[in-house]
Structure 1
Amino acid sequence: MAELYTFGYEGLAIDAFVARLKSAGVETVIDVRANPLSRKRGFSKTVFATALRAASIEYRHVVAMGCPKPVRDQYKVDGNWATYTRGFMRHLSKNEAALSEVASLAKGSTCCLVCFEADYERCHRTFVARGAAKLGGFPVLHLTGQTAIPDGDRLAVA
């Protein structure tokens, strides 16, 4: 059965990040950042895609799955995760075609949704993964530097 991974690059160097993707068997990275730019070396779109290609991992950017700026900006002001979640879920419900694209990619390849945040429970990529998994009927696993955590389960597996 296909699995859909998620992974945040916070705290990792590009080489370690790519090595972890390879060790998990990821074939395609789906970048779900609205703006695939990063102050962290190696993670801006063009350089990131090049590093992934060098490791035989395909790169796809699905811009519609990024969190809208007004939702991000509000979260920066109030830090209210419930408000952030409602805002992003409204956005997700209006972007079914992009969510279907993610599910379709995940059915055809071992995919990993990528964003910055290390904590998948505080990142929109988890909502994207759950939505795609619901459409595709596959499980979601959240990668860390060392483990894979099944969605909804804080226990790590190798």
Structure 2
Amino acid sequence: MWNERFGIIGAGYEGKDASTFVDGLVSWRIGTVVDVRLNPISRKKGLSKRGLAASLEQSDIRYLHLPTLGNPRDNREGFAVPGSPEAEQAHGRYRELLMTDAAGEALRQLAELSVTQRVAVICFEESERCCHRSLVIEAAKKLMHELVAI
């Protein structure tokens, strides 16, 4: 669900500098960025947790890190090859992680935010097809629809 007031999108900073990435979020009128990197560090200046949070704050965008929605390092390789057996295995393993109580609470928090404002779920990969955030967004949207129906 996406409209003028609320919703949820995905965004990856691959190939972008911090300024370009934040400008894009501003243009989408994002209210909160939800960082789903397990470890929110980057070799790119301004895209690690502190620098990104500061840049977002200057643009009136809230930053929220939800590490419980991060993809374990040893499960990332499969996401790089969409449609492959390795991807299916990696997606299955990540979906199991999303069924934990901690991940469920984080998803609920994300869904609740997304029914009141525009939220961007961020990670590194430019393409959501190659990133676990696609599964985060899918799960959060299901919860979001439940909340809107209430």
TM-score by length of 2: 0.84
Q: How does 1:128-139 map to 2 (within 5 A)?
A: 128-137=136-145
Query: Residue 131 of structure 1 aligns to which amino acid in structure 2?
Result: A
Q: State yes or no: 1:120 paired with 2:128.
A: yes
Cα shift at 1:46 = 0.4
Cα shift at 1:72 = 3.0
Instruction: Give 1:49's match in structure 2, choosing from 47, 53, 70.
Output: 53
Cα shift at 1:96 = 1.2
Deviations 1:69-127 (A, max 9, x none): 33237779xx9211111111110111211111111111222110000000111110010
In the other structure, the counterpart of 1:31 is 35
In the other structure, the counterpart of 1:141 is none
Q: State yes or no: 1:84 paired with 2:84.
A: no
How many angstroms apart in 2 are the aligned matches of 1:49 and 1:12?
A: 16
In the other structure, the counterpart of 1:15 is 19
Unpaired runs of at least 5, structure 1: 139-158
Q: State yes or no: 1:109 paired with 2:117.
A: yes
Instruction: Give 1:96's match in structure 2, choosing from 90, 93, 104.
Output: 104
Q: Would the alpha carbon gap of residues 58 and 75 (structure 1) be closer, same or farther in structure 2, given more than 3 Å must change?
A: closer
Query: Residue 89 of structure 1 aligns to which amino acid in structure 2?
Result: R
How many angstroms apart in 2 are the aligned matches of 1:82 and 1:59?
A: 31
Which has the larger helix fraction?
2
Unpaired runs of at least 5, structure 2: none
Query: Residue 26 of structure 1 aligns to which amino acid in structure 2?
Result: I
In the other structure, the counterpart of 2:69 is 65
- Where 1:108 maps in the other structure, the secondary structure is coil
CA RMSD of aligned residues (A): 2.0
Q: Would the alpha carbon gap of residues 75 and 57 (structure 1) be closer, same or farther in structure 2, given more than 3 Å must change?
A: closer
- Where 1:25 maps in the other structure, the secondary structure is coil
Query: Residue 53 of structure 2 aligns to which amino acid in structure 1?
Result: A
How many angstroms apart in 2 are the aligned matches of 1:92 and 1:116?
A: 19
Q: Contact 1:68/1:91 (CA < 8 Å) preserved in 2?
A: no
How many angstroms apart in 1 are the aligned matches of 2:128 and 2:46?
A: 21
Q: Contact 2:13/2:125 (CA < 8 Å) preserved in 1?
A: yes
How many angstroms apart in 1 are the aligned matches of 2:119 and 2:26?
A: 11
